[in-house]
Amino acid sequence: MAEQVNEEMEVTSLGGVGPATKTKLSEAGIYSILDLATAGPADIAEAIDVDITKAVDLNNKARRKLVEMGRLEPDFISASDLLARRKNINRLSTGSKNLDELLAGGIETRAMTEFYGEFGSGKTQVCHTLCCMVQLPPEQGGLDAGPVYIDTEGTFRPERLSEIAEARGQDPGEVLSKVIVARAYNSAHQELIVKDLGRIIEKNKLKLVIVDSAVAHFRAEYLGRRTLAERQQRLNRFMHQLLRTAEVHNIAVVMTNQVLAAPDTFFGDPIRATGGHVVAHTSTYRIYLRKAGKNRIARMVDSPYHPERDAVFMLDEKGIDDPPEDGSKRR
């Protein structure tokens, strides 16, 4: 069934898009100008059976329309105007003051924040906590909206989410009802879910997308050097689709990532995030989580402007939390 789209967002409002093209785009899951702007030119070309040049032109028309509507920045803008616009970017509290300070106020919208670390370092607990925090009003550090949780490893637990909500003074039933969960069973399914994100975000007025974890399926399905190029190409496409979705819909995207031990590292920490340069270049902010006794340490590894430093947090019934200042064990 065709998705109901606001008249202003109809793809037919763009020059050169008629009813037949609209039908083909709808069959490919592209219902609105927002979907068209976030789709890659290759996906558009395949959907409507045109060459890549025409697909790029259609993609650019959608982007220009969003610029006119104030949904995207224009191609050329002064640094002072950009600074003024960035002051209006929303920030989502992580639930830990220490981690918020590391992020200069919290998780940014229109950006992709990556948390990577070994098993048990707190990645999934961060994600569960954010599902509660995003539903709070802005004055309490939230975005007053729901999240979508893309679970690729089967680690999402509604019981844990209910426990965190109750510990934070929220209604567990209400919190759970606003969390949309999508279980991705393989990399192709994961890509399909992300292509459909625009429709889900607009329909449910969501402000947070969580992918836990982003590279796991690609890592499991593409083994050996002979498949590396294809894996990285598909992963690159997936990551850029996520980033475009964050920018166009003004939402926060949080992804977790697995790690590997670099065999050629003789000094220092051998832990590296999976996904190689593709993931490293696409993530706006990269945070490395590691265990430190009962606490966890988060290090800002890569950012356009944050300093590289550490923050200490802990895991408890509230999900992630700040350690007691006196060092005592919190009940």
For the segment 305-319, what is each residue's pLDDT rounded down to a tens digit?
Answer: 998 899 999 999 999
Q: Is residue 139 part of a domain?
A: yes
* Burial state string for 199-234 with b = 16 or more CB within 10 A and e = fewer than 16: bebbeeebbbbbbbbbbbbbbeebeeeeeeeebbeb
Domain boundary among 32, 53, 68: 68
pLDDT for 27-41, tens place per residue? 888 888 888 888 888
Domain boundary among 50, 68, 86: 68
Judgement on whether residues 99 and 64 belong to the same structural domain of the protein? no
Judgement on whether residues 131 and 252 belong to the same structural domain of the protein? yes
User: Rounded mean pLDDT of 172-182?
Assistant: 97
As for how many domains the chain has, the answer is: 2
CA angle 32–205–67, rounded 5-degree value? 45
Domain boundary among 53, 68, 83: 68
pLDDT for 245-292, tens place per residue? 998 899 999 999 999 987 776 667 788 899 999 999 999 999 999 999
Q: Residue 130: what pLDDT?
A: 98
Judgement on whether residues 29 and 128 belong to the same structural domain of the protein? no
Judgement on whether residues 289 and 196 belong to the same structural domain of the protein? yes
Least confident of 30-39, 104-113, 237-246: 30-39
239 pLDDT band (50/70/90 cuts)?
very high
Q: Is residue 218 part of a domain?
A: yes
Judgement on whether residues 12 and 123 belong to the same structural domain of the protein? no
Judgement on whether residues 188 and 276 belong to the same structural domain of the protein? yes
User: Rounded mean pLDDT of 60-85?
Assistant: 87
Q: Is residue 195 part of a domain?
A: yes
pLDDT for 216-228, tens place per residue? 999 999 998 899 9
Q: Is residue 197 part of a domain?
A: yes
Q: Residue 3: what pLDDT?
A: 54
Percentage, residues of the chain above pLDDT 90: 64
Token output for 259: 């790690």
**CATH number of 237's domain:** 3.40.50.300
Listed residue (66, 65, 43) closest to 55, CA to CA: 43
Judgement on whether residues 45 and 188 belong to the same structural domain of the protein? no
Q: Is residue 90 part of a domain?
A: no
Judgement on whether residues 49 and 113 belong to the same structural domain of the protein? no
**CATH number of 30's domain:** 1.10.150.20
Percentage, residues of the chain above pLDDT 70: 95
pLDDT of 329 above 80? no
The parent domain of residue 22 ranges over 7-68
Judgement on whether residues 103 and 219 belong to the same structural domain of the protein? yes
Judgement on whether residues 305 and 180 belong to the same structural domain of the protein? yes
Q: Residue 115: what pLDDT?
A: 98
Q: Are 238 and 207 in contact (CB under 8 A)?
A: no
**Single pTM value for the model:** 0.89
Average pLDDT, the chain: 91
Judgement on whether residues 169 and 233 belong to the same structural domain of the protein? yes
Cis check: omega of the bond before 213, within 30 degrees of 0:
yes
Q: Is residue 80 part of a domain?
A: no
Q: Is residue 256 part of a domain?
A: yes
Judgement on whether residues 61 and 138 belong to the same structural domain of the protein? no
Q: Is residue 83 part of a domain?
A: no
What is the rounded distance in angstroms from the CA atom of residue 43 to the CA atom of residue 178? 30
